[in-house]
Amino acid sequence: MKLILATNNNGKVKEFKELLTPLGFEVLSQSEAGIDIEVDETGTDFEENAILKAKAVYDIEKAYVIADDSGLEVDALDKKPGIYSARYEGLKTAHERNMRILEQLDGTEDKRRTARFVCAICLIRDNGEVNTVRGTCEGRIGYEEKGTNGFGYDPIFVYGDRTLAQMGESEKNSISHRGNAIKELLKII
């Protein structure tokens, strides 16, 4: 089955392909499908943003489309950056965003550094039926960036005794918010 990913994020495309291709899906990024759009994420939660992105691509292609919206919720920061994770405080790079969160948590004790990654996935079938699922990964924010794998907030997000950026791809995918959301998605495909 062919699935179009409604994203231009290379990290997300890589993760989705690693998770779905072995299951028999032909996974195309929106650019591989010849779709060149950017969708304004004006939703109030992860699900609304995922639906907005999926519908924009579906309206062009009328095929199976998957979109996700994901981000980091830090409890001590009132669940920020949340849906603004990719553009937190207007900072341009992942490193700048990571440093800002570490700065905001400076002096915060370990037990209050709890956080989670959240991923909402929207699947629109070729007949227009809309489905959403959610996955999370619970952890905490470390004290410095560690690791070179992954992307985004992975170097500061600690799961067990390592950051997600210190894990190999298959290990990370088995516990990640996106991996958990895809497990839920597979139940409805």
Domain spans of the chain, in order of start: 2-188
* Closest C-alpha among 96, 47, 104, 99 to residue 80: 104
Q: What is the 3-state secondary structure (H, E, C) of 16-43?
A: HHHHHHHHCCEEEECCCCCCCCCCCCCC
How far is the C-alpha of 83 from the C-alpha of 98, rounded, in Å? 15
What DSSP character marks residue 79? T
Which residues are CB-neighbours of 168 under 8 A, at least 6 positions away?
A: 149
Summarised one tens digit per residue, pLDDT across range 140-183 is 999 999 999 988 999 999 999 999 999 998 899 899 998 899 89
Q: Residues with catalytic annotation?
A: 69
Furthest CA-CA distance within the chain: 52
Domain 2-188, architecture per CATH: Alpha-Beta Complex (3.90)
What pLDDT is stored for residue 19 in this prediction?
A: 80
Residues of the chain with pLDDT under 50: none
Coil, strand or helix at 186: helix
Q: Which amino acid is at 156?
A: I
